[in-house]
Structure 1
Amino acid sequence: MKAEIVAVGTELLLGQIVNTNAQFLSRECAALGIDIYYQTVVGDNEQRLMDSLKLAASRADVVICTGGLGPTQDDLTKDVLAAYTGRQLVLHEPSMEAITDLFRTRGIHMVESNKRQALMLENSYPLHNENGLAIGVAYTYEGTHFILLPGPPKEMKPMFSNYASAWLRTIMTDEVPLYSKMLKFAGIGESNLEYQLIDMIEAQTDPTIAPYAKEGEVTIRLTTRAHTAQEGELNIQATEEEIRRRVGDHLYAERDIPIEATILQMLEEKQYKLTVAESCTGGLLSDMITAVPGSSQSFLGGIICYTNSLKNKLLGVPMEVLEGENASGAVSAETAILLAEGLLTTTGSDLSISVTGVAGPSPSEGKPVGLVYVGLAKKGAETKVVTLQLSGTRETIKIRAAKSALYHLWRLLKEN
């Protein structure tokens, strides 16, 4: 069964809000075994919406619309579907009672336009709105199944999960749900990962292999059709094992989590405490770590020592190392080591990371943009330093430096 999502709202076209509804619906439909082939965004215009519905109906078995069910004149979705199908809009009495009761309880005068939210196509199936006023609609016309959902995600998601999906199951025949598994990689670029797996990607049938990336991380999604999770795991087992054999050294998780979440799990298991000293990343590394709920169990905190004076005063890096004709400089392996070791001594943590480098846009100390040193200090062990030569904008270099530091920390924890 093929489906198309039609998101209605001029605010989407203007970029005033992000269409997160399509992401949710695509994921939920895949779980039901329904393939999303197209996603359309159309403004609050009667003719353009009519054209979009006609086109969607010509190429999809299921058309799911979000938005345009509210009380104002530009909420046109039900009106346009009624015109397209030749059906009348009728009042759904339970919804009308709920709307009336709400306004009465709040002591607010209800204007006539609010009745529009209780309208539905005659002979259609109503979809209850648990968090709002607009009733949803499910209706089949000339072999195409239409579902109308509200635009606000807090209303749309429970309406689909609790009511629309159940209605879809009644019209489905032999669809087999999709089962997907995420494999998360770090310390390897998307192009290099694809190169290692290119023969598998080109020959893929079932399961399918889809690599995609964001800064500092790469994900492979393995997808198969299976009635149960156990069947899905069996279907992808051989493919996953071969991927692990080739690039398993970079695999840090089997679900969609950032590497910092994996690191915090490892730290908690080992009962290690972590601290960070940041120069060029300016607190970004600490922000990534503390974005994970429960990070305080293992993360003591960090120091942003952006200037040489703070590197010296807070973490004891000698000024003769930082400045002078024969000095190594703030951007150096020596400084990265001293920062990490100084932090370890100052805080009493088990592990500390330091990051110092040139984020740009101009060189510093005669050193090129993108040169970054990461220090890794562990209580009772020799401090390690990693040299990176990164590229990109200032913001990109900061993100890549922070992610690289996390990757090398993960490797250190993995080795131990």
Structure 2
Amino acid sequence: MKSEIIAVGSELLLGQIANTNAQFLSQQLAEMGLGVYYHTVVGDNPDRLKQAVNTAKSRSNIIIFTGGLGPTKDDLTKETISSLLGRKLVTDENALSHIEEYFKKTKRTMSENNKKQALVIEDSFILKNEFGMAPGMAIEVNDIHFMFLPGPPSEMKPMFLNFGRDYFMSKLGQQEKITSRVLRYFGIGESQLETDIQDLIDSQTNPTIAPLAGDGEVTIRLTARHKEETTAFQLLDELENKINERVGSFFYGYDNTTLIQELMNVLHEKDKSISAAESLTGGLFTEQLTAVKGTSKVLNGGIVCYTNETKRDLLKVSEKTLETVGAVSRQCALEMAENIQSLTNSDIGISFTGEAGPVTNEDQPIGRVYIGIAASGQETIVHRLHVAGGRNTIRKRTVKYGCQLLIKQLNENTVK
């Protein structure tokens, strides 16, 4: 079965609202095993809508419309499609009573055009609107299933969940379910990751593999199809294991998680406190950490020490270090990490210092970064990195590297 979603409304084309309905319906249909092959957006124009429908009929078995069921002149979905299908519009008495009752309860005058919302395509299956006025409907014509849903998400979502899903399942029976899993990686480029698993990509059948790069990270979406969900999960597990045998050192989590969230999870799991000394990142690490629920249980504090004077006076970095090797150095990162840990009585202290550009203050290349990690019972470790990108990209990626390094160290060692 090939599904298509047609969203009707000029406001979508003008960018006044986002087409979240299509996203929601695609997710729901995938869970039901119904593949969505096309998304179409068309304005409030009957000729263009007819063209879109004729195109959809030539390639899809299921066509779902959202929007255009309201009372105004530009709400033309029902009128246009009923004409195209050669079906009359008739008044659904239950829907009309529902609309009349709504106006009585709200003590408003019902205008004549509101009756338009009770019109449905003759012989269609009615989808009750429990959160609005215009009912939805579904009808099968020439082996194509048409479904009409309202545009407002607050009406469309419950209508589909409560009535639309059941309609399709009763008509189509059990379909192969589509189960997806997103694997998240950091510290490896998309091209390198694809090279490392190229033979798996070339031989993919079920599950499928879809790599995607973004914001310094790489994700892989694995998608399996099977009638039994447990079998689909087993297929995903097997393929995930094969992939992570090769690139597992860069793997950090699933689906919509983030590096900062995963760090928070590990800190809670290990029951460890942390503090941060930030020069290059200017408080970005601490800001992101405090945006995650539960921060108060793990974060003791932090210092933004952007100038050498602040590093010396507040963080107690030695004058000798700043004069001889400078702020962008292994020794400075080490002292920053150890001193913030001591000053805040934390289990872990992390420091960030480096050169983000666009000009350099010391004799260091742009992108040179030092991350220091001081942990109770362990020797302080300083990581030297070269981070590519513009100023803000370097700062953001440095925070991610800090999270990744902390997660790895916490998982591999016991911080006393």
Q: Same fold (TM over 0.5)?
A: yes
Q: Deviations over 1:300-342 (max 9, x none)?
A: 44433334444344323345544xxx44333333332222222
The aligned residue for residue 225 of structure 1 is 225
1:380 corresponds in structure 2 to 377
- Match 2:345 to one of 343, 348, 367: 348
Match status 1:89 vs 2:86: no
Corresponding residue for residue 390 of structure 1? 387
In the alignment, the residues of structure 2 paired with residue 305 and residue 79 of structure 1 have an alpha-carbon distance, to the nearest angstrom, of 66
Post-superposition offset of 1:236: 3.4
3-state SS of 1:224 partner = strand
Please state how far the C-alpha of 1:401 moved relative to its aligned partner: 1.6
Could you tell me how far apart the structure 2 residues matched to 1:306 and 1:111 are?
65
Q: Aligned residue pairs: how many?
A: 413
Contact residue 367 and residue 388 of structure 2 kept, 8 A? yes
Q: TM-score, normalised by structure 1?
A: 0.90
Match of 2:19 in 1: 19
Alignment identity in percent? 45
Tell me the secondary structure at the aligned position of residue 74 of structure 2: coil
Partner of residue 403 from structure 1, selected from 396, 400, 405 = 400
Inter-CA distance 55–316: structure 2 relative to 1 (3 Å threshold): same
Amino acid at match of 1:409: L
Contact 2:177 2:229 in 1 (8 A): no
Query: What's the CA shift for 1:3?
Result: 0.5
Give the C-alpha shift of residue 254 in structure 1: 4.2
- After TM superposition, the structure 1 stretch with the greater mean CA deviation from structure 2, 395-404 or 291-300, is 291-300
Shift of 1:173: 4.3
For normalisation by structure 2, the TM-score amounts to 0.90
Quick one: distance in 2 between partners of 1:279 and 1:366? Answer: 17
CA distance in 2, matches of 1:69, 1:148: 8
Letter in 2 for 1:315: L
Indicate yes or no: 2:179 matched with 1:179.
Answer: yes
Shift of the 88–295 alpha-carbon distance from structure 1 to 2, 3 Å rule, reads: farther
User: Which among 325, 331, 335 is matched to residue 328 of structure 2?
Assistant: 331
Q: Call closer, same or farther: CA 1:275–1:73 in 2, change over 3 Å.
A: farther
* CA offsets 1:331-367 (integer angstroms, 9 cap, x no match): 3333322222222122222123222233333333343
Offset, 1:139: 1.8
2:324 is the alignment partner of 1:298: no
Alignment correspondent of 2:364? 367
Aligned equivalents of 2:86, 2:287: Cα separation in 1: 55
Go from structure 1 to structure 2 and tell me whether the alpha carbon gap of 1:396 and 1:78 turns closer, same or farther (over 3 Å shift). farther
Q: Is the 8 A contact 2:174 2:227 kept in 1?
A: no
- Counterparts of 1:274 and 1:318, CA distance in 2: 22
Measure how far apart 1:2 and its partner are. 0.6
In structure 1, C-alpha distance between the alignment counterparts of 2:114 and 2:374, rounded to whole Å: 64
CA contact 1:183–1:256 (8 Å) conserved in 2: no
Unaligned runs of 5+ in 1: none
More displaced 10-residue stretch of structure 1: 29-38 or 375-384: 375-384
Q: CA deviation digits over 1:190-223, x for unaligned, max 9?
A: 2211111011101111221221232233222222
